[in-house]
Amino acid sequence: MSKEKAIATPNRTREILAKFHFSFKKSLGQNFLIDVNILENIVKYAGIDEHCGVIEIGPGIGALTEQLAKKADRVLAFEIDQRLIPVLKETLKDYPNVTVRNEDILKADIRKILLEYFRKDQPVKVVANLPYYITTPILMKLLMDQLPITDITVMIQKEVALRMSAQPGTKDYGSLSIAVQYFTIPKIVMNVPKTVFMPQPNVDSAVLHLDMRDEPPVEVKNERYFFDLVQACFAQRRKTIMNNLSRHFHTRLSKEGIADILSSAKIEPNRRGESLTMAEFARLANHFYDRIGES
């Protein structure tokens, strides 16, 4: 297919929308890409080739799906909006290697579907233009479920991409940075202006590539406990970890007890959450877990 006939052009997108009398739903965060070059770059950064299986989330009218289908062995797309199913049936009719499921990715048993749809030895990647309002829940589900995928390449709000890839000591660094970096190695590979979407969003986007880690970079005794403690330390960013942890543990530990655990973990109580590395958070969580467990 030539670029002129690609789905991701302003004219073709308008034609498809008019033909199916489609109206955008704000509640679903629908913004369709109308720039083929950007889509081709996403596919390139995702490292898609003829051996790959791809999971796409929110295909819309199939602009990215089409570019993925040209390179990948097979593509499995999850679309929550039932109105788009007949649209996708038509726009992707030339690509027999694409399957569209009208299903909410947050409710899907992705592991089971992966085993059914892709070959056992096939590398599977996730590629998506994610709706801003639900980016974090979707990515955290993919990571926490520890699926057999090699990497994730997503177009998301630039501000969120910066937070996910942030390093300690920066204003963007927080509990989301640690959660994402515990499971993956993130890298922003491309910035995307808001002008290449229809309708145009209020903010710019970025493409974030997440390489799945074989093992987390730190050893924690209880993952859920670790993530809870990290969130507690960032509950009020301007407060010290002593203040935040005092609020978090107020029914279980005295301030003296918290100070004692901080001392044993060799963490100064007047530090703020953004100054701690993941290794320090892991050490702190393990000390708290050893002392009081999940009580």
> Can you say which residues are annotated as belonging to the binding site for S-adenosyl-L-methionine?
31, 33, 58, 79, 104, 129
Three-state secondary structure call for residue 110: helix
Local structure of 56: helix, strand or coil: strand
Q: CA 104, CA 107: separation in Å to the nearest integer?
A: 5
Cα–Cα distance measured from residue 275 to residue 66, given in angstroms and rounded to the nearest whole number: 44
* Of 163, 185, 276, nearest in space to 230 by CA: 276
Closest to 152 measured CA to CA, from 135, 133, 176: 135
Cα–Cα distance, 170 to 57 (Å, whole number): 31
226: exposed, middle or buried (Cβ count in 10 Å: 0-12, 13-18, 19+):
buried
Q: Residue ranges for the binding site?
A: 31, 33, 58, 79, 104, 129
- The answer to whether 123 and 53 have CB atoms below 8 angstroms apart is yes
Tokens coding 50: 């003829």
- Under 8 Å between Cβ of 108 and 86: no
Where do the H-state alpha helices sit in 128-217? 135-144, 158-164, 175-183
H or E stretch including 205? strand 205-212
